[in-house]
Structure 1
């Protein structure tokens, strides 16, 4: 008895006006869904890269505190920069997957507190930058039109007080 009901359902024909409607609806809706999926992938990769760069700058700033057994100021500064560079962009860095396009910029300067008593306090900053517009992580489908919605560069700065 069940087999007869199945046969009856299969014998039901769609009107000739409805044939091909699903293909037309799919062709109309697919580009919209594809662009949404593409945007999710593109911005997901941008967020992952930005987070990696932020963590790399923070690790570089923390590593700048370690100066080893150096005693003279030039050697301390050289050790500080080398430790910061290695932590921010070295093989153990969270942003190493973006190498060799990462830019590393350390700087040592007064912290800029407004109090004259704090004028001798120095801060060390580490800036890590990735030129996203030149080297996008996901190919840009719409060419120059996509340049409006993607960042020119991804950058992060971490600052620590060393004195």
Structure 2
């Protein structure tokens, strides 16, 4: 028997799903944004550190280099080029960076001036016989998602990591 009273007592649920979806969607999108941004940042940091390590390895195999003082500018340029090649091969840059030759040209102009080959250590003063290869990489070259602004939080994903730094030390 269908009683009109039974229909009145059952609450209508048709609008609740829409309200719940509207409340959960922004949180889900924010978590997804953070996961993607952190993944890109983490990968880019690994690549920059690897490029610095490749530069230090190239330094060790250079003939006739026994100390920082015996390192010529041509040899420093060779080490810097090794770092650039390592970045160009392994870095997933933004879509507008194009093919390998275009990435290489972009890295030559943006990153090459930020590579240092000098004495010292990473995070310390260093000791005699150490040569540091340091790479400072602008994060904007690999940023996939733009920074977003949230109410009561501010900007998320912008300005926190403007420059990624990779450093490696070769013991000569």
CA distance, structure 2, for counterparts of residue 75 and residue 96 of structure 1: 35
Q: Residue deviations 1:15-46, cap 9 Å, x none?
A: 57212211111111000011000000001000
Which protein has the larger Cα radius of gyration, Structure 1 or Structure 2?
Answer: 1
Partner of 1:57: 52
Distance 1:109 1:33, change over 3 A: closer
TM-score where L is the length of structure 1? 0.68
Summarize the alignment of residues 68-147 of structure 1 with structure 2, pairs less than 5 Å apart.
Answer: 68=63, 76-90=71-85, 93-95=89-91, 97=93, 99-100=106-107, 101-102=110-111, 103-108=114-119, 112-113=126-127, 121-132=128-139, 137=143, 138-142=145-149, 145-146=155-156
Unaligned runs of 5+ in 2: 1-6, 94-102
Q: Residue deviations 1:32-68, cap 9 Å, x none?
A: 0110000000010000000000000000011012334
Unaligned runs of 5+ in 1: 1-12, 114-120
Distance 1:106 1:90, change over 3 A: same
Q: Residue deviations 1:129-160, cap 9 Å, x none?
A: 1133x556031122862267732321011111
Please tell me whether residue 152 in structure 1 is matched to residue 162 in structure 2. yes
CA contact under 8 A between 1:54 and 1:157: conserved in structure 2?
A: yes
> For this pair of structures, how many residues does the alignment match?
139
Please tell me whether residue 161 in structure 1 is matched to residue 156 in structure 2. no
TM-score where L is the length of structure 2? 0.65
Partner of 1:33: 28
